[in-house]
Amino acid sequence: MSQKIAIIRGDGIGPEIMDATLHVLDAMKLGLEYVDVDAGMVALEKHGELLPQATMDAIRTHRIALKSPLTTPVGGGFSSINVELRKRFDLYANVRPAISFPNTRSRYDKVDLITVRENTEGAYIGEGQALSEDGETATLTQKVTRRGSDRIVRYAFDLARKVGRRKVTIVHKANILKKLTGLFLETAMEVGERYRDRIEIEDKIVDNCAMQLVLNPWQFDVILTTNLFGDILSDEIAGLVGGLGMAPGGNIGKEAAIFEAVHGSAPDIAGKGMANPTALLLASAMMLDHVGDTERATRLREVLHQTMVVDGIRTRDLGGEASTDAFAQ
């Protein structure tokens, strides 16, 4: 494989977990070429802006980026650089697999599920957010479109079929938000009909789903939902399998795909050599799947299993003592 990828080292623990990740990817001799670009606080310091044009150009040209967490400064400008990247590249599918590894701090064994979240619509994007002049009333516009729903639903069902999943659960709040998430549910049911021969389809109201995940996470396979519900449920699911240090994510669109660790820049442990690089490594495996190298994506997941479960080498967040570097070695 000869593939150029944009590398964003990010802020806080970002450079540490990226070094560890690239160390492992290099050892796998994947033939990847890295194009280093900046975003976040480091970009602000070096180039005077959080998201420089050169970074946008590199993602547009190479179409694939591996990204460490970014710190968004509190105050003016973007509400989040991550949201801005999703918007600019129309990265409409947010995919978050969650697998429990034994011998970690996973609360449940044998969890293996994927959340597919619509990434460009709904309350999460904060459209039309305003506070009245007297400071007493906050408002927001929530928009769900048939087109936006249609493309994420297709994405989820196609993914489920491609990776051999048996069930898709559509998560909504159409009992109350009858129009808003009702449109999403209706579209998902319509599109899902075409996949029913191979995939079981069910729907669940989001609050019930949140409870069912804790009671019996094994009943789920692929969860398909809207932006804000997906944001919350996927962190809950990360909690089921050992926390954010184990949670990778992919933001995928037609023009580009950005793979990342779901966690933030962890300023409390930055520079201490104790960050867990597993989420970024699992995100790299998603990236390999995305470019069609499923064999080595699987190999990378096996390597992580071998390291944590068989050899018992774990970082502190998982109850071990290994440094970031020792784990990568």
Pairing of strands 257-261, 248-252: antiparallel
Q: Alpha-carbon distance 162 to 1, whole Å?
A: 21
CB nearer to ligand NAD: give 205 or 270.
270
Provide the minimum distance between the beta carbon of 241 and ligand NAD in the complex, in angstroms, as a whole number. 14
Active-site positions read 124, 173, 207, 231
Q: Is 232 helix (H, G, I), strand (E, B) or coil?
A: helix
Applying CB under 6 A, which residues contact ligand NAD? 13, 17, 69-72, 82, 244-245, 260, 263-269, 275-276, 279, 317
- What does DSSP assign to residue 197? T
Provide the minimum distance between the beta carbon of 52 and ligand NAD in the complex, in angstroms, as a whole number. 16
CB nearer to ligand NAD: give 67 or 301.
67
- What does DSSP assign to residue 28? T
Provide the minimum distance between the beta carbon of 299 and ligand NAD in the complex, in angstroms, as a whole number. 22
Provide the minimum distance between the beta carbon of 279 and ligand NAD in the complex, in angstroms, as a whole number. 6
CB nearer to ligand NAD: give 13 or 252.
13
Provide the minimum distance between the beta carbon of 157 and ligand NAD in the complex, in angstroms, as a whole number. 26
| Extended strands (E) in 47-134 | 64-67, 93-99, 112-118, 130-131
Please list the alpha-helical segments (H only) found in the chain.
14-27, 41-47, 53-62, 81-88, 146-162, 180-192, 206-215, 227-240, 278-290, 294-305, 324-328
Q: Alpha-carbon distance 238 to 312, whole Å?
A: 21
Q: Which residues lie across from 224 on neighbouring strands?
A: 116, 170
Provide the minimum distance between the beta carbon of 278 and ligand NAD in the complex, in angstroms, as a whole number. 7
CB nearer to ligand NAD: give 22 or 177.
22
CB nearer to ligand NAD: give 55 or 72.
72
Q: Alpha-carbon distance 235 to 248, whole Å?
A: 11
Provide the minimum distance between the beta carbon of 56 and ligand NAD in the complex, in angstroms, as a whole number. 16
CB within 8 A of 148, min separation 6: which ones?
A: 92, 118, 120, 121
What residue type is 317 in one-letter code?
Answer: D
Q: Evaluate whether 240 touches 213 at the Cβ level (below 8 Å).
A: yes
Q: What Cα–Cα distance (Å) separates residue 197 from each residue in 48, 166, 193, 201?
A: 54, 10, 8, 10
CB nearer to ligand NAD: give 72 or 100.
72
CB nearer to ligand NAD: give 72 or 187.
72
CB within 8 A of 18, min separation 6: which ones?
A: 7, 9, 10, 66, 68, 280
